[in-house]
């Protein structure tokens, strides 16, 4: 099957990347400022205040329109490689996001995140395994859905599939379900967050726990507050998200054990936790941790934590880059969403997906509101 030959594909990616860069430049320099100044219903800035649209959501909408309207479901061959490559920028941006934290901040925030994320991962796993039995889902389908809904959407679904002998159709259903649900949450979360008057800390903890997919967590956090600084929604949400992503190999191991415990015949490939850790551990998390370490050692100067010295010029520059990199990546994320594919989701997997997704989303909000006094700011 196709692998990614990064350096050979780079020149071919230029036309698509150029369109994405142009789109984001137009959005940030003309569309967003126009929306901020436009007088609608006698109120200046109504478009921004009411819709909560910022360059992040506008970028995703532009990507959605490119794929589903302008290109009628398929990105033209000339632009295809650039659009695919742009999605890499999301994870590249998350690596750079490591410059927002010091090891001390990670330990402070991470301890709470580990508790919350751990609790929600286990709860979701148990809920999906139970609902899978109630709805009579195939065991492989249940296993793929369990990890997709508990951890990190697409990454977890595809990491689990080979270990539980899942068929292509199982993974396709799981991905369509989680992406469909994720798109909805990505757009409504900023509204809910603002309506409830959540702080960046509360909002970040909520979406980092309740939204299923990494890219969508990032988009929802930046849609709430586009600032990329210590303590902003995105800095909190991503720590939560990374804690969840790290649990992929462990969850694959647990679900694989569950899957094989119910099988009578000995067949297929079974892997130990050590092998799964090497194979399934997300590479970008290592990059993120290296960045945190370098930041803690002062490699980029002062981070600009509240009450401390101002951020260094290098850190400021990195943060500016990140806003652009995330912007480009999220245009690519929008263009990855094919409504035709999502419309095919249905049946019992969709019911289980929605039940678990909504439960997790609402419960995460309730828990964050309950423990708001115990959440630690960085």
Residues that bind another protein (CB under 8 A): 1-4, 6, 73, 84, 87-88, 91-92, 154-155, 158-159, 161-162, 166-169, 171-173, 175-176, 248, 278-284, 287, 336, 338, 340-342, 344-345
Taking the least distance from each CB to another protein, the nearer of 201 and 218 is: 218
Taking the least distance from each CB to another protein, the nearer of 284 and 326 is: 284
Q: How far is the CB of 285 from another protein (least distance, A)?
A: 9
Contact 54, 221 (CB under 8 A): no
Taking the least distance from each CB to another protein, the nearer of 113 and 345 is: 345
Taking the least distance from each CB to another protein, the nearer of 158 and 376 is: 158
Q: How far is the CB of 168 from another protein (least distance, A)?
A: 4
How far is 229 from 305, CA to CA, in rounded Å? 8
How far is 309 from 297, CA to CA, in rounded Å? 15
Q: How far is the CB of 320 from another protein (least distance, A)?
A: 22
Contact 213, 182 (CB under 8 A): yes
Taking the least distance from each CB to another protein, the nearer of 114 and 172 is: 172
Q: Which of 32, 47, 67 is nearest to 336 (CA)?
A: 67
Q: How far is the CB of 102 from another protein (least distance, A)?
A: 23
29: tokens are 């320099």
Q: How far is the CB of 166 from another protein (least distance, A)?
A: 8
Q: How far is the CB of 144 from another protein (least distance, A)?
A: 10
SS3 307: coil
49: tokens are 């205040």
CA dihedral 28, 225, 83, 17 (to 10 degrees): 40
CA geometry: angle 17, 223, 296, nearest 5 deg = 80
Q: Which class for 373: exposed (0-12), middle (13-18), buried (19 or more C-beta within 10 A)? A: exposed
Contact 328, 21 (CB under 8 A): yes
Q: Which class for 3: exposed (0-12), middle (13-18), buried (19 or more C-beta within 10 A)? A: exposed
């Amino acid at each position: 099957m196709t692998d990614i030959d990064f350096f050979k594909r780079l020149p071919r990616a230029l036309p698509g990347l150029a369109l994405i860069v142009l789109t984001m430049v137009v959005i940030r320099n003309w569309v967003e400022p126009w929306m901020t100044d436009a007088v609608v219903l006698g109120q200046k800035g109504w478009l921004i205040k009411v819709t909560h649209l910022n360059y992040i959501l506008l970028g995703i909408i532009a990507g959605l329109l490119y794929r589903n309207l302008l290109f009628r479901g398929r990105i033209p061959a000339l632009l295809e490689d650039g659009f695919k490559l742009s999605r890499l920028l999301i994870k590249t941006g998350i690596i750079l996001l490591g410059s927002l934290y010091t090891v001390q901040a990670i330990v402070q925030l991470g301890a709470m995140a580990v508790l919350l994320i751990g609790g929600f991962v286990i709860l979701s796993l148990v809920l999906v395994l139970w609902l899978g039995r109630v709805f009579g889902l195939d065991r492989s389908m249940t296993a793929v859905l369990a990890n997709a809904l508990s951890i990190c959407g697409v990454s977890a679904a595809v990491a689990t599939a080979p270990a539980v002998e899942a068929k292509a159709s199982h993974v396709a259903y799981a991905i369509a379900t989680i992406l469909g649900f994720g798109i909805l949450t990505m757009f409504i979360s900023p509204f809910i967050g603002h309506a409830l008057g959540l702080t960046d800390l509360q909002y970040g903890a909520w979406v980092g726990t309740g939204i299923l997919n990494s890219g969508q967590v990032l988009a929802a956090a930046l849609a709430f507050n586009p600032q990329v600084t210590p303590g902003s929604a995105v800095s909190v949400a991503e720590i939560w998200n990374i804690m969840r992503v790290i649990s992929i190999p462990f969850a694959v191991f647990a679900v694989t054990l569950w899957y094989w415990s119910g099988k009578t015949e000995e067949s297929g490939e079974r892997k130990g936790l050590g092998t799964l850790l090497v194979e399934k551990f997300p590479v970008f998390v290592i990059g993120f941790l290296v960045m945190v370490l370098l930041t803690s050692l002062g490699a980029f100067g002062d981070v600009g934590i509240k009450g401390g010295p101002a951020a260094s010029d290098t850190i400021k520059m990195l943060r500016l880059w990140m806003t652009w990199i995330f912007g480009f990546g999220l245009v690519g994320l929008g263009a990855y969403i094919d409504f035709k594919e999502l419309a095919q989701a249905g049946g019992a997997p969709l019911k289980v997906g929605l039940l678990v997704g909504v439960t997790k989303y609402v419960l995460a909000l309730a828990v964050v509101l309950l423990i708001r006094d115990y959440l630690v700011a960085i």
